[in-house]
A and B are shown apart, each in its own frame.
Chain A
Amino acid sequence: MSTDGELEVVGRPLPRVDAVARVTGTARYADDLQLPRMLHARILRSPHPHARILSVDTAAARRIPGVKAVLTGMDLPIRYGIMPVSQDERALEFEKVRFVGDPVAAVAAVDEETAAAALDAIRVSYEPLQPVMSIEEALRDPVDEPIHDPALTRQRGNVHRLVSYEFGDVEAGFAAADHVREDLFFYQGNTHLPMEQHSALATYEDGRLTLWSSTQVVHYVHRALAKVLELPMHRIRVIGAAHGGGFGGKTDPFSHEIVVAKLAMVTGRPVRCTLTREEVFYAHRGRHPVLIWMRTGVTREGRITAMHVRTALDGGAYGSYGPATVFYTGTLQTVTYAIPAYKFEGVRLFTNKAPCGPKRGHGTPQGRFAIELHLEKIARELGLDPVELRRRNYVRPFTRAVNWLRVTSCGLEECTEKVLQASGYRGRPRRPGHGMGFAASAYMSGAGTPIYWNDMPHSEVQLKLDRTGVTAYCGAMDIGQGSDTVLATVVAEELGLRPADVRLVTADTDATPVDLGSYSSRVTFMAGNAALEAARRMRRLLVEAVAEATGVQGDLDEIEVREGRVGEVSFEQACQLATTRFGALSTSGSYRPPRIAGPFKGSGVGPSPAYSYTACVVDLDADARTGLIRVNKVWIAHDVGRAINPLAVKGQVEGSVYMALGEALMEEQVYRKGRHKWPSMLEYKSPTVLEMPEIETFLVETVDPEGPYGAKEAGQGPLLPVIPAINAAVFDALGIWIDETPITPEKVLRALDARARGQEARYGPRRFPDVDYGAPIRVDPPDPHDLRVGEELERAFAAAGR
């Protein structure tokens, strides 16, 4: 960066720093790693959706030549789980199984075939229990027994979590409305389908365990291993291998990671386990199926006076991130639209299916789908332009929402304007079967509070500089989104280098300080800020050493650090001078979000240091004869704050649009008779290149005051508006509402058929079940212009007796 603040590498569309390794096949992913004497592990999984385990007989398996170890649940009895409030999984279960695919036993053998044969030789006897396969079933009294012990969940039956909040006076808000509307929506579950199957390799040497894994968060795997294996954290090292795609699906600690670690300890040999594609479907942690009821009051002009949202989530067999997911189905509505009074009730239920968790957008696509279609319907009912109605309710930058979420920079207006202009949405020509739809959304740049309570930084970066150059160390994991490139770019910008000049060590718990990992769109914002702080400190030291050695007097800020030079000397010389002056240098930087959460229990889910904003328009043709939908084009504008690397940001936006199209039109994780219907890539339909429409992307830069160089997230937010925009366009084309995902040809035809028979021109859920959400926690709304954070905010709470 020059002394006048002009950016040199930030904002340039440079290739990713690891691109050469990834195009030449030299990047080493977890399953590519081999060590001498390595054994292969396989995991035996339950064929029953719900059953008690009566016995596990491994004697025959152990006798097979080449089998080196067999584990059962008794070897790994300690429960774990990603959320401290939901420690409900075991690496291998020994009491009962809760879904088809639940792990029961594991084998390490000289090769995969021997391991597979050993699995066949293990005899498990089960006592099947009545499976619970839907939200409705989960709300009834269990036929046999609840899926989890109510003593652990502290809830009735198969309820996992309940939340209930009222912000402001909702009744008064509805009373003030000219018009009130209710709608029901269903968002089907779907899965990440990363191209890389999960894989992990462990060794145990000199009393120390090393695990290479395809995880998105080395730190969480580290914590889970320490807990289950009862080892101190300093005797465990977790390294993120080159990553073949996560999208949230590799964010939990997994059974196979713990199993290979234990097997390495038992056998004294390296052990690797790579899941089959079928097992990847069981590992899941994907999108929750969610039933949503929404009621909104508006004035004649379309201004929202109150909103009431109820959600019911089908969580699958385990907790995973579910306690957060249930919040996310409701909390972020208020950072897109100014809702003066808001009631939100949510329930997450256990069912005997593969566990749901965080998938790109984590819990928010479902709520976004519902609110956008709901507002679309309200606008059409009132005879208002659907875009105009939204605009009248858009949140303003630098305000605080009714549920205390703090909004800083907000480019909703600019994003909306861009896509309207480019798409010609307003003056669109009408022809049969053709439609266009609009939607807007918001997403977090990282969660404002950590998933396990602590006051430590969310991200830390160390820089080392010696006579050979500079190295950055950070626990962040590049899952393909380009986080390594962001780190290198930030450091390069501050030190006057090119990103490729910065050596990186990332995602290695021995070498790198903690970063909370690649999820919740947090890395650019948080690790970026940590890197910025570390790099500015290093720059200062370099400048000092150079000034001293070259006899420069006066203001050190006047010394230019750019284009490979520090003042009058080259960067290499500067490194030597700095090492001469100080010895090898290290600096560190860290990032902790400001305290922004409101003064109520449960306020920790939803706050983010900054929200990204997106608007999109979809153009499609829908065939009333076949029910087929062909998306022609998507215009999408994303407020990314600042694009540190526009090439990477555009890649995230386009990838999000692609994933949204899959969810909207074809992807669904469905079950039949207790089993996953399609645990294969052939039958779980996802878009190929032939299904992809043209995408026109606009990046809006609002330069957030707290983001690194103003940057916000880009990896998840752009998925959100695309799905409801498609449904809105289908209505525009055919005059039917498809109030659930995915929009299959069958649903289109059924809605058309219903209309032909004089019924409601709609396909979607008909009933929201009775749920006892309990009395809501009532919260007084904040002053929307009170932007105080941190201690100042807390002092204000204390003074108000909150």
Chain B
Amino acid sequence: MLNELQRPVHREVLLLRVNGEEHQVLVPVHATLLEVLREQLGLTGTKHGCELGECGTCTVLVDGRPQLSCLLLPVQLEGHEITTVEGLGSPAHLHPLQQAFLELGAVQCGYCTPGMLLAAKALLDRNPKPGRRQIEEALAGNLCRCTGYATIVDAVELAARRMGA
């Protein structure tokens, strides 16, 4: 019996730009961006809840737009700018969104948080003064089981206000 591993796996060397840094990686062409970020680049801040494009947990930014990293193939991403939660802010310099999430209790288990933060950042970059409904629409693809969402929407509003000030 020939199993699929005895077939040659096609791999490619790619140059990925993540959080402003260039990374040369050798990846199987079918590996997802989520896998490459987490397993090869050690960027475990990006989480996963389904790996099937259903929960939004794995959201990253590609050229500033929110994308599900579990559905993206790195082979398509050379020359694009990828941003993960590690590129958003650091413990010493929190992004206003991170600061607002922390202050308002928009983080409980924190597992949905990286995806929420990036979806929110994409929104604020596009629309610095979103209404509540616009925030909700921007976050509608990101599930959270802990918070009931209200504090998350509050936090995005607060961050928007502070960033506009």
Q: Does B1 contact A (CB under 8 A)?
A: yes
Mask for A687-713, Cβ within 8 A of B = 1, else 0? Answer: 011101011000000000000000000
Chain A residues in 8 Å Cβ range of B112: 195
Mask for B143-165, Cβ within 8 A of A = 1, else 0? Answer: 11111111111000000000000
The CA of A136 and the CA of B98, in the complex, are separated in Å by 52
Q: Does A79 contact B (CB under 8 A)?
A: no
The CA of A114 and the CA of B52, in the complex, are separated in Å by 20
Cβ-defined contact, B145 with A680, below 8 A: no
User: Which 9 residue pairs spanning A and B have beta carbons closest together?
Assistant: A25-B45, A480-B109, A22-B110, A658-B148, A244-B111, A25-B85, A32-B44, A654-B148, A681-B54
Cβ-defined contact, B139 with A681, below 8 A: no
Cβ-defined contact, B105 with A689, below 8 A: no
Cβ-defined contact, B147 with A24, below 8 A: no
Q: Does A406 contact B (CB under 8 A)?
A: no
Cβ-defined contact, B55 with A681, below 8 A: yes
Cβ-defined contact, A689 with B109, below 8 A: no
Chain A residues in 8 Å Cβ range of B55: 195, 681
Cβ-defined contact, A681 with B105, below 8 A: no
Chain A: which residue is nearest B97 at the CB level? Answer: A23
Q: Which of B54, B57, B90, B150 contacts A24 (CB 8 A)?
A: B90
Given contacts A25-B86, A195-B57, A680-B50, 13 further A-B contacts (CB under 8 A): A15-B105, A19-B107, A23-B98, A23-B101, A31-B48, A117-B4, A194-B109, A245-B109, A247-B145, A654-B147, A656-B148, A680-B54, A689-B153
Q: Does B3 contact A (CB under 8 A)?
A: yes
Cβ-defined contact, A24 with B1, below 8 A: no
Q: Which of B42, B57, B108, B144 contacts A482 (CB 8 A)?
A: B108
Cβ-defined contact, B44 with A25, below 8 A: yes
Chain A residues in 8 Å Cβ range of B39: 34
Cβ-defined contact, B105 with A24, below 8 A: no
Chain B residues in 8 Å Cβ range of A195: 47, 49, 55, 57, 109, 111-112, 143-146
Cβ-defined contact, A196 with B47, below 8 A: yes
Cβ-defined contact, B109 with A277, below 8 A: no
Chain B: which residue is nearest A274 at the CB level? Answer: B48
Chain A residues in 8 Å Cβ range of B49: 195-197, 277, 681
The CA of A566 and the CA of B105, in the complex, are separated in Å by 31
Mask for B102-123, Cβ within 8 A of A = 1, else 0? Answer: 1111011111111001000000
Q: Which of A15, A650, A682 contacts B103 (CB 8 A)?
A: A15
Q: Does B137 contact A (CB under 8 A)?
A: yes
Chain A: which residue is nearest B30 at the CB level? Answer: A113
Q: Does B84 contact A (CB under 8 A)?
A: yes
Tell me which of A60-68, A569-577, A754-762 binds B: A60-68
Cβ-defined contact, A655 with B110, below 8 A: no
The CA of A781 and the CA of B55, in the complex, are separated in Å by 51
Chain A: which residue is nearest B50 at the CB level? Answer: A277
Q: How large is the interface on B (under 10, 10 to 19, 20 to 34, 35 or more residues)?
A: 35 or more
A702 to chain B, nearest CB (A): 23
Q: Does A276 contact B (CB under 8 A)?
A: yes
A17 to chain B, nearest CB (A): 11
Chain B: which residue is nearest A276 at the CB level? Answer: B51
Q: Does A647 contact B (CB under 8 A)?
A: yes
Cβ-defined contact, B47 with A655, below 8 A: no
The CA of A538 and the CA of B111, in the complex, are separated in Å by 35
The CA of A96 and the CA of B39, in the complex, are separated in Å by 36
Q: Does B91 contact A (CB under 8 A)?
A: yes
Cβ-defined contact, B57 with A20, below 8 A: no
Mask for A638-664, Cβ within 8 A of B = 1, else 0? Answer: 000000000110110011111100000
The CA of A32 and the CA of B149, in the complex, are separated in Å by 25
A718 to chain B, nearest CB (A): 10
Cβ-defined contact, A686 with B145, below 8 A: yes
The CA of A631 and the CA of B42, in the complex, are separated in Å by 42
* Contacts A29-B111, A681-B143 given; does A689 touch B149 at CB 8 Å: yes
Q: Does B38 contact A (CB under 8 A)?
A: yes
The CA of A277 and the CA of B48, in the complex, are separated in Å by 10
Chain A: which residue is nearest B87 at the CB level? Answer: A25
Q: Does B26 contact A (CB under 8 A)?
A: no
Q: Does A162 contact B (CB under 8 A)?
A: no
Cβ-defined contact, B1 with A121, below 8 A: yes
Cβ-defined contact, A654 with B150, below 8 A: yes
Cβ-defined contact, A24 with B108, below 8 A: no
The CA of A479 and the CA of B145, in the complex, are separated in Å by 12
The CA of A28 and the CA of B101, in the complex, are separated in Å by 19
The CA of A25 and the CA of B43, in the complex, are separated in Å by 8
Interface core residue of A34, A65, A681 (most chain B CB under 10 Å): A681
Q: Does B13 contact A (CB under 8 A)?
A: no
The CA of A647 and the CA of B47, in the complex, are separated in Å by 25
Cβ-defined contact, B5 with A114, below 8 A: yes
Q: Which of A26, A245, A654 contacts B111 (CB 8 A)?
A: A245
Chain B: which residue is nearest A247 at the CB level? Answer: B145
Chain B residues in 8 Å Cβ range of A69: none
A247 to chain B, nearest CB (A): 7
Cβ-defined contact, B107 with A28, below 8 A: no
Chain B: which residue is nearest A18 at the CB level? Answer: B110
Chain B residues in 8 Å Cβ range of A682: 52, 54
Q: Does B81 contact A (CB under 8 A)?
A: no
* Contacts A655-B146, A680-B52 given; does A242 touch B103 at CB 8 Å: no
Sampled A-B contacts (5; CB under 8 Å): A117-B5, A242-B110, A658-B145, A688-B149, A689-B152
A162 to chain B, nearest CB (A): 34
The CA of A66 and the CA of B109, in the complex, are separated in Å by 35
Chain A residues in 8 Å Cβ range of B89: 24
Chain B residues in 8 Å Cβ range of A648: 105
Query: Which residues of B, 14-29, contact A by the 8 Å Cβ criterion?
Result: none
The CA of A195 and the CA of B143, in the complex, are separated in Å by 8
Cβ-defined contact, A196 with B111, below 8 A: yes
Q: Does A180 contact B (CB under 8 A)?
A: no
* Contacts A22-B113, A681-B49 given; does A690 touch B136 at CB 8 Å: yes
